Amino acid sequence: MADFVLTEVDGPVGWIPLNDPDRLNPITFERIRAINDAAATMSDRADVHVVVVTGAGRGFCAGADLSSQDTFLTQTAPPASGSITDSAGLWTLTAMRQPVIAMINGPAVGYGLELALQADIRIAASTATLGHPVVKLGSITDTGAATWLLPRLVGWGVAAEMLYSGLLYGAAEAHAMRLVNHVVPDEQLRAFTAKMASTIAANSAWAVSATKTLLFQGLQDTARAHVLDQFLKVNQGDPSYDPTPHMARFRS
């Protein structure tokens, strides 16, 4: 059987595609562990400044593999957290050192939506669909990402409507509710995403990584604690970074 999680590095950009395209890349606990392992390995690479997570074929991730007994729908305990996961347990992408882009090339449903929510930026193909219909199966969200990250992204009322109704939303609707940053034609999705990744990777890797850390800390920090966190980050610094080429753009 082919590996479910593949990895590829193209210059400073790492790619992590899920690889069961015939079934729209469904997940099991074993497959979540494989995602965690790939993320941990990629996070440790100093030469990778941005990571893109996507799905092979015509889907991002269709959620739980309903043909398996190794899922949130059949087991009461989630998989053991690896070193990459944060205190929430399963928010793998938020715990990565680099910023992460979710390239949503098709259905992102259930756990697929929660995986996309963990990314810093979401770019969707025009035919993509997103949602969390697990209430229709008499269960609740898989990792808590949909109940903690989603309302902070789209607002309480929109998150409540999405999760209570279990409806699926098209890419244009998802963009209108601020669930995704950009919607692009399917045939332009990879090129657009690669350009965004390259734009981010051209900046100081330390500064971008530190900013990611501060953004997530800011979701829970008091204002005073956050200013202190920012001060400490600045004083760590990155002596290898030369801002001169970037400053020239602002002087012209």
Question: What is the tens place of the pLDDT at every residue in 149-170?
Answer: 999 999 999 999 999 999 999 9
Q: Which of these ranges, 8-17, 36-45, 132-141, has the smallest mean pLDDT? A: 132-141
Kindly report the CATH number assigned to the domain that includes residue 134: 3.90.226.10
Spatial neighbors of 211 by CB under 8 A, at least 6 apart, are none
Give the residue with greater pLDDT, 225 vs 9: 9
Task: Please indicate, yes or no, if residue 26 is contained in any of the structural domains.
Answer: yes
Task: Please indicate, yes or no, if residue 42 is contained in any of the structural domains.
Answer: yes
pLDDT at 156: 96
Looking at the structure, do residues 20 and 132 belong to the same domain, yes or no?
yes
Instruction: Find where tokens 């990565």 sit.
Output: 96
Looking at the structure, do residues 122 and 180 belong to the same domain, yes or no?
yes
Please, are residues 60 and 128 in contact by the beta-carbon 8 Å criterion? yes
Looking at the structure, do residues 34 and 92 belong to the same domain, yes or no?
yes
Looking at the structure, do residues 173 and 235 belong to the same domain, yes or no?
no
Domain count, the chain: 2
Domain span at 131: 8-201
Task: Please indicate, yes or no, if residue 1 is contained in any of the structural domains.
Answer: no
Q: Confidence class of residue 225 from pLDDT cuts 50, 70 and 90? A: confident
Looking at the structure, do residues 212 and 129 belong to the same domain, yes or no?
no
Looking at the structure, do residues 188 and 213 belong to the same domain, yes or no?
no
Beta pairing class for 168-170 and 129-131: antiparallel
Enter the pTM of the model. 0.85
Task: Please indicate, yes or no, if residue 166 is contained in any of the structural domains.
Answer: yes
